[in-house]
Amino acid sequence: MTDQCQYLEYRPLSGTGSSEEGGDSDGAGSQEPRAYCTAADTFVQAMRADVCNLRYGLDPETDCEFYRDAEGLPAASPGEGAEAEFDAGGESGAGNTGGASDTGGDRG
């Protein structure tokens, strides 16, 4: 049993000459192998690496469109997978009616 996506490989950055998605500001000719997706034929974004490595209960089959595309699976429908989260928060609070009537009378 593997603990990573079947399309995940590690390749060295140097020599590829491709535009990297992640935006590595480390520079200095890093020879560290980077996560590479053979399905999308590109280096994996850092935020997607969790899916590639099956972390946090993520599953490429439901959480990665590259995987679904490579496997011939239908696109994820709304309400399915981790990307389906939708913020439906509403702001309410426009009903503030102040009613402080001061009818004091101190006469003397």
| Residues at the contact surface with ligand SF4, assessed by CB under 6 A | 5, 7-8, 37, 39-40, 44, 48, 51-52, 60, 64, 66-67
Q: CB atoms < 10 A from the CB of 95, how many?
A: 5
User: 82 or 101: whose CB is closer to ligand SF4?
Assistant: 82
> Measuring CA to CA, which residue among 43, 32, 37 is closest to residue 5?
37
Would you say 24 and 30 are in contact if contact means Cβ atoms under 8 Å apart? yes
User: 60 or 81: whose CB is closer to ligand SF4?
Assistant: 60
User: 24 or 59: whose CB is closer to ligand SF4?
Assistant: 59
